[in-house]
Amino acid sequence: MSDSIKVKGKIERKGFGTGTWALVSTSGDTYELHIPPKELQTAGLTVKVEGQIRTDVMTIAMIGPVLEVNHFEVLKE
């Protein structure tokens, strides 16, 4: 696994296959969330996420790097 990264953005539900949860960063990058916590499974949340990019995981959606969440904070906006 790679080093830890921190990303701020909005949670989105992408409709590929059975669907997947994604984090779209403030810079426009999309990360597919790897087994996201239940608290992150709400479209429209603005969050700060810390985690690792998983290069050893392949997905059907293939919408961007797979991000395994280690810590997150829901932001008020």
Q: Considering the entire predicted model, what is its pTM? A: 0.90
DSSP characters for the chain?
Answer: ---EEEEEEEEEEE-STT-EEEEEETTS-EEEEES--GGG-STT-EEEEEEEE-TT---SS--S-EEEEEEEEEEP-
pLDDT for res 3: 76
- pLDDT (tens digit per residue) in 1-59: 567 899 999 999 998 667 899 999 999 999 999 999 999 999 999 999 999 999 999 88
Beta-bridge partners for 69: 51
pLDDT for res 60: 84
pLDDT for res 64: 93
Tell me the domains of the chain and their CATH numbers. 4-75 (2.40.50.500)
Closest CA to 23 of 71, 69, 60, 76: 69
